Amino acid sequence: MRLDELPPRENFNDWYNEIVEKAGLTDKRYPIKGMNVWIPYGWKVMQSVDSLIRKEFDATGHDEVCFPTLIPETEFAKEAEHIKGFGKDVYWVTHAGENELDVKLLLRPTSETAMYPMFSLWIRSHSDLPMKIYQIVSTFRYETKQTRAFIRVREIHFFESHTAHRDFEDAERQIKEDLEILERLMKKLCLPYLIHRRPDWDKFAGAYYSLGIDTLMEGKILQIGSIHQYKDNFSRPYDIRYEDENGEHRYVHQTTFGMSERLLGAIIGIHGDEHGLILPPAIAPYTVIIVPIPKKGHQEKVYEECIKLWDELKSAGFRVHFDGRDLRPGNKYYYWEIRGVPVRVELGLRDIENGEVVLFRRDKMEKKSVKRENLAEELRSLLTDIERNLYERAERKMQGRIVEADELSDLDPESAPDILKVKWCGKESCGIRMEEITDMNVLGTSEPEEKADGKCPICSKNAVKYVYLAKTY
Ligand code: ZN
């Protein structure tokens, strides 16, 4: 066994914990648990995810901002549900220099309470609405559960958009737009997802309702984002009002959309295999890597041709890298496979003589020869096909793990499907009972809601809708 070999993929937790470091994404040795270092390759990948997000939100009329990290306790405490929900998870700053602070400050766990006092100063008239802003910043949560890189960390690389609207209907329109943005993003990230309207007992602190954006990773649901309708739950305590056309003062309705580095965690866990990462082309720091196959006496010729090829592909707009290191080709293959580069181009003396190159696609571990003059075109269609294949095979796998159950009592937890679909009367007590019987969590109802016809397996009353359950991270 090679020293740097990965644990088998079947031991998912070990595999995951090793791949994040071996693929050059993060260094977990920083001396605060749950706060890891973004190292160059990993940071490049995350920045590519951020650029996709920025592009989508800029194109839909959102403006980027950057708020301070610290929030005074007095502002944080204004929305009662919110502080109940986050109270135990926050980091406090109690001293400045040698002085104990009169008003404690906290590191933002999310930014509602940082932004909304400013919203109340910025929003005056109906002509200021809708207001749509976002930021990409670190947030902080004191996680007490076992931490895991990108999935459960204490300093979180976080995206959040916050919008303010004149009424509930306009805020609802925003949520529709958010779902369209999400669809485009997830296709690029090759992540299949499910939208669940969380049950009331599990919605975000302060929300009117919450939509969880869920994906399936190794048998468990990973929430990779959320969209919240706040109604006027925050605008009342923070006094965010506008003057309408008739001179009347009204409270705004608000929404938020949050995502985080968990997107990267999902990409690692859903697509990765025993050879390492498989990165979607849209976020790979390099989509193409060129590896020379040297032959004694012809070394220079091969390198020259590789560099020519490198220049050609750069000019054609590819993110391409030439690996000219003094290493055996096999070692280079291994190095770039573990880092998930979508396509490798191999070039040896015989290929040069034949006017060909060898293309290797990481998602299927397949090789083929193509004519050198068609390379740019071949690469473009190959990258498109890799993106489509990654999305579709993960989507098929997830959909295949959703099973409808009429009875919960005879369910064998050992062979249970990953995601259970159950008819539900809608009562909280029945939902909680389902969680106890299955040892799973209620994810909520699908969005848009599916009507059910039949009986709730707990109370035998008429079921009105379906509810979904799964084990969760
Ligand atoms: Zn029931």
CATH number of the CATH domain containing 353: 3.40.50.800
Which pair of structure tokens corresponds to residue 452? 């059910």
183 found inside a domain: yes
Do 342 and 266 sit in the same domain of this protein?
no
Pick 262 or 408 by higher pLDDT. Answer: 262
Distance 451 CA to ligand 1 centre (A): 15
Confidence (pLDDT) at 408: 85
242 found inside a domain: yes
pLDDT at 1 over 50: no
147-177 tens-digit pLDDT: 999 999 999 999 999 999 999 999 999 999 9
Distance 428 CA to ligand 1 centre (A): 8
Q: CB-based contacts of 412: which residues, under 8 Å, 6+ apart?
A: none
Which residues on adjacent β-strands are paired with residue 421?
A: 404, 468
Instruction: Using the 3D structure, point to which of 384, 415, 441 is the last residue of a domain.
Output: 384
- Can you tell me the distance from the alpha carbon of 303 to that of 291, in angstroms, rounded to the nearest whole number? 9
Q: What is the CATH number of the domain that holds 134?
A: 3.30.930.10
Distance 174 CA to ligand 1 centre (A): 33
Which residues fall inside 5 Å of ion ligand 1, going by CB? 425, 427, 430, 456, 458-459
Distance 457 CA to ligand 1 centre (A): 7
66-86 tens-digit pLDDT: 999 999 999 998 887 777 777
Distance 460 CA to ligand 1 centre (A): 6
Structural domains of the chain, count: 3
> Is 205 within 8 Å of 234 (Cβ atoms)?
no
Instruction: Using the 3D structure, point to which of 271, 306, 325 is the last residue of a domain.
Output: 271
For residue 58, the enclosing domain spans 12-271
Distance 409 CA to ligand 1 centre (A): 14
Distance 436 CA to ligand 1 centre (A): 14
How high does pLDDT run on average in the chain? 95
Distance 471 CA to ligand 1 centre (A): 21
| φ, ψ for residue 314, nearest 5 deg | -60, -45
Q: Range with the lowest mean pLDDT among 32-41, 222-231, 309-318, 399-408?
A: 399-408
Amino acid identity, residue 374? N
Instruction: Using the 3D structure, point to which of 240, 271, 302 is the last residue of a domain.
Output: 271
Do 432 and 357 sit in the same domain of this protein?
no
Q: Report pTM.
A: 0.96
Q: How many CB atoms lie within 10 A of CB 408?
A: 18
Do 416 and 299 sit in the same domain of this protein?
no
pLDDT band at residue 431 using 50, 70 and 90 as cut-offs: very high
78 found inside a domain: yes
Do 34 and 126 sit in the same domain of this protein?
yes
- Gyration radius (Cα) of the chain, Å: 25
Pick 467 or 144 by higher pLDDT. Answer: 467
Do 261 and 373 sit in the same domain of this protein?
no
Distance 197 CA to ligand 1 centre (A): 18
Distance 198 CA to ligand 1 centre (A): 17
Distance 422 CA to ligand 1 centre (A): 11
pLDDT band at residue 466 using 50, 70 and 90 as cut-offs: very high
314 found inside a domain: yes
Do 175 and 226 sit in the same domain of this protein?
yes
Which pair of structure tokens corresponds to residue 183? 């669809």
Distance 455 CA to ligand 1 centre (A): 8
Do 342 and 453 sit in the same domain of this protein?
no
Confidence (pLDDT) at 81: 78
Distance from the Cα of residue 385 to its chain's centroid: 22
6 found inside a domain: no
